[in-house]
Amino acid sequence: MSEFGLHLKQAREGRGISLRQIASATKIATGALEALERGDFSRLPGGIFSRAFVRAYADEVGLDPEETVRQYTELADAMAASSLREVATAEITDDDRMFLERQRKAGVWLRAIAIMLVIVIGGLIGWWQMTRVRRRPPVVPVVTEQAPAPSVSAPSVEPVAAPTTDAPQTAPPVVHSVSIQLHADASCWVQVTADGRLVLSRNLTAGESQTFQAERELAVQFGNAGAISWSVNGKPAKPLGASGDVKKASITPDNASAFWK
């Protein structure tokens, strides 16, 4: 920048022109022209006005206005970029870095201390709970004494003599099944069911005999009750009806004796 300003000053002096003359011709303040020759662009208004100043100065001292403005623009842009870098670099100083590092270390220590406090507090609570359990007095069960039950003597029982009978008593026989024997004195239709199963259903001819047995029940039906002679469990049975009568009967081990003569 100083070389650029020196180049402008040499061109002016080579033409024998003073700064006051250029200021009078261009209407630019003498202080701005002096700053331009020193390369102190910070004293210039900036932007399009600075380029206008440079163009007018170059035209008065016999330099190419466009080339001189181009050189000025490049130098001004480079100076602005350098200033931005310096500002960006100056934003974080060494002191700031040291301060940030101290804050980071302090944060690490604070977290470590907080974790240790949590561990210590948890240990103290556990120790207090265990101590409380140890100090708790043992529970002693209370046993109440019961008065002995009064002894009760069993009443004396005199033996009772069993009655005596002259005639011996015999229990009736227990029948666990039932059987019948049928004899047809004349032709007769007969149906027999043994324990729920049909075993006969047809006409018995005169003189024909049939025998049946069951565990629980024998059910009979005679189409001509007076034509059938029969026995129950080996003993003669009473007729179920007269000739021409249709009769039914159910014989079981319990009621078998009711059909005997």
**Percentage of residues of the chain with pLDDT beyond 90:** 39
Q: What is the pLDDT of residue 127?
A: 83
Q: What is the pLDDT of residue 163?
A: 47
More confident of the two residues 138 and 94? 94
pTM for the full model? 0.35
Q: pLDDT tens-digit profile of 66-103?
A: 998 898 888 888 877 876 676 555 566 788 788 888 88
Q: Per-domain residue ranges for the chain?
A: 2-90, 93-134, 178-259
More confident of the two residues 43 and 233? 233
Task: Look at residue 198 and tell me whether its pLDDT is greater than 60.
Answer: yes
Q: Which residues pair with 203 in a beta bridge?
A: 189
CA distance 118 to 113: 9
Q: What is the pLDDT of residue 87?
A: 52
**Structure tokens, 89:** 């670099």
The CATH classification of domain 2-90, taken from the options 1.10.260.40, 3.40.50.1000, 1.20.5.440, 3.40.50.1970: 1.10.260.40
